[in-house]
Amino acid sequence: MDEFMKIAIEEARIGLAEGGIPIGSVLVKDGRVVSRGHNKRVQEDNPILHGEMDCLNNAGRIGSYRDTVIYSTLMPCFMCAGTIVQFKIPKVIVGESKTFNGAREFMESHGVEVIDLALPECIKMMEDFINEKPQLWNEDIMEL
């Protein structure tokens, strides 16, 4: 597993330890971490603070995102995918899409390269969370 996905998983674990949803993200440019973040929707009572959104918010203004890669432990939802497309981030590397298939086709239809690593560690983390807190998960994905 590459170092950037390890950081995204670390971010997901931080979110889980804070009582939130275990989804982490990392933005990489020129082989270095620009920012990192995790889902803080529960912790900050903010419905749009998904892992990718927190990561991009933490990046601040970096000018162009055209030469970046964003990592996420879970396939981005349509909100996060829309931001990825809007910012013209060319590549997304995800830990898994088994527990949530997200917006892969949407991103690909806008020229974003999507790589799904199908990592057992990411799948297990989300399956465990969904089994332990189904109400919170369904709230996060608007399935209530």
Pick from 13, 63, 20, 14: which is nearest to 40 by CA?
A: 20
CATH classification of the domain holding 31: 3.40.140.10
The answer to whether residue 11 is catalytic is no
pLDDT tens per residue across span 11-32: 999 999 999 999 999 999 999 9
Q: Please state the domain count of the chain.
A: 1
Domain that holds residue 13: 3-141
Q: Which of 3, 10, 44, 52 is catalytic?
A: 52
Asked whether residue 141 carries a pLDDT value surpassing 80, the answer given is no
- What predicted TM-score, i.e. pTM, was given to this entire model? 0.95
CA atoms within 13 A on the CB side of 75: 23
